[in-house]
Chains A and B, each alone.
Chain A
Amino acid sequence: MKYIDEFRDGAVAQGIAANIAAAVEPQRRYSFMEFCGGHTHAISRYGLSDLLPPNVRMVHGPGCPVCVLPIGRVDLAINLALSRDVILCTYGDTLRVPASNGLSLMKAKARGGDIRMVYSTLDALQVARDNPQREVVFFAIGFETTTPPTALAIQQAQQEQLANFSVLCCHVLTPAAITQILESPEVRQWGTVPIDGFIGPAHVSTVIGSQPYEFFAEEYRKPVVIAGFEPLDVMQAILMLVRQVNEGRAEVENEFARAVTREGNLKAQDRVAEVFELRREFEWRGLGIVPYSALQIRERYAAFDAERRFDLVYASVSDNKACECGAILRGVKRPQDCKIFGTVCTPENPIGSCMVSSEGACAAHYSYGRYKDMN
């Protein structure tokens, strides 16, 4: 398929790998964080880490919306479905995220909750139109890619006066998470997580543009290379980061210029700004409470805010003690460092959120890399 196949060519990948091998300085160690789960998945699926010289290490970042969704938020959604008799519409990714009392949305559905998987907010709106006598709540999660479709759905619901439709908003922001990583003691004080640069998000950047990352290059002196999600994109981005480090540069470069501009999608940004405003604080799994890192629905659309409509109160819930998702999301540990990885915690029976989505660091390593370290 066009724009996919040519970015997966194995021979070309070997060529870029040779370029990387030639570019790295042998005495230097390079440590780059790929922020996005999409990149984590590509690195595992295509075995990219095996194409890199031993002194180039990739650190997985927190850019997997399912992984950073805290238990308390899933609990809110489950309670709506089980105790408030709503139809809960959700993207498929959230269905298996472990929540309190051994439940997940999938298990809540088995208990009789009316939970429906949708592909798009357009489908959630249709469910609301088809069931005027029922309350329909869309469980809105995700970074800046899924936020504009949620904004449109809320505006559409207002236009159609769909009074039975509302949104449980859990949308989070990429730049806030990158700041939190850079300000963490592991990176800033102790240096236990060295980060020499970032691979910046592909599709998030189509919406927000490359401009928001300029702050990280200027203030934190960290190079950022925005890259597509195909394997050759990731390899090229690593080469560009190596060159920046070698030359002492810290700039924002755009490897994904075929889809990302500096300004991003202004129409999408306008819709988001009309419907949402910053939340004072939001809890992330792994990163804790991060100020101004998420969005909430503006007062003028309050009628479509499920938190207001159902008087929902968020309660923080600790993760399973044995689960290392928190440390893995901060880049402090790797999936294979977790005691329950691949034994108690598997994609069929995930204990932590990183094992749920295919973009989660644990699920990616389980699917594509778990036998690698055995011999």
Chain B
Amino acid sequence: MCLALPVKVVEVGPGDAAVVDLGGVRKQISLALLDGVQVGDYVILHVGYALSRLDPEEAQKTLALFSELDQSRLAA
């Protein structure tokens, strides 16, 4: 139910309308819940609405975190 997907915004406007691309599938969505979205941004799409913008820097930090060794493994 709360499932949502990261999608790339490929067209913005008119109004709150936008077109997103998900692995080659294009779909019209609404940006009524999110300000300042630009072409090229990734947003989280849920039931036809963009709920939040993905922060590429934070995503990179999280991916880097996955690869860190636990301190106790370093000590061992």
Q: Interface residues, chain A, CB within 8 Å of chain B? A: 1-4, 6-7, 12, 15-16, 18-20, 22-23, 36-38, 63-66, 91, 93, 119-123, 141-143, 145-146, 148-149, 152, 201-204, 206-207, 229, 232-233, 236, 239, 255-260, 265, 267-268, 271, 357, 359
Contacts and interface: CB of A to CB of B under 8 A. Distances in A.
A21 B49 CA distance: 39
B34 A142 contact: no
Contact of A93 (B1, B44, B49, B62): B1
B76 A236 contact: no
A73 to B, nearest CB: 15
Contact of A22 (B30, B48, B66, B72): B72
Contacts of B61: 257
28 contacts: A1-B6, A1-B23, A2-B8, A3-B59, A6-B63, A7-B63, A12-B66, A18-B70, A19-B73, A20-B70, A22-B72, A22-B76, A23-B70, A36-B2, A37-B1, A119-B48, A145-B1, A145-B46, A145-B51, A146-B1, A149-B47, A202-B2, A203-B4, A206-B51, A207-B52, A257-B62, A265-B34, A359-B2
A213 B4 CA distance: 21
Contact of A16 (B2, B23, B66): B66
Nearest to B24: A1
B4 A271 contact: no
B39 interface: no
Contacts of A258: 54-56, 58-59, 62
A146 B6 contact: no
A142 B42 contact: no
Nearest to B73: A22
B18 to A, nearest CB: 13
A235 to B, nearest CB: 8
A268 B31 CA distance: 11
A258 B5 CA distance: 13
Contacts of B23: 1
Contacts of B33: 148-149, 152, 265, 267-268, 271
Interface residues of B, number: 40
Nearest to B65: A236
**In this complex, which of B6, B35, B67 has the most chain A Cβ atoms within 10 angstroms of its Cβ?**
B6
A239 B35 CA distance: 34
A15 B73 CA distance: 11
Given A1-B22, A38-B3, A259-B54, 20 more contacts: A2-B6, A18-B73, A19-B69, A37-B1, A65-B1, A119-B47, A119-B48, A120-B47, A123-B48, A143-B1, A145-B47, A149-B46, A149-B49, A152-B49, A207-B52, A258-B54, A258-B55, A259-B44, A259-B53, A267-B33
Contacts of B8: 2
A142 B4 CA distance: 13
Nearest to A174: B2
A271 to B, nearest CB: 7
A65 B3 CA distance: 11
Contacts of A239: 70
A91 B62 contact: no
Interchain residue pairs A-B with the least CB separation, the first 9: A120-B48, A19-B70, A3-B6, A258-B59, A206-B52, A257-B58, A258-B58, A22-B73, A22-B72
A260 B4 contact: no
Given A6-B63, A267-B35, A146 B46 contact: yes
A85 B13 CA distance: 37
A143 B49 CA distance: 15
A119 B47 CA distance: 6
Nearest to A1: B23
A146 B47 contact: yes
Contacts of B63: 6-7
A145 B4 contact: yes
A65 B55 contact: no
A90 B3 CA distance: 16
Contacts of A121: 47-48
B22 to A, nearest CB: 7
A143 B2 contact: yes
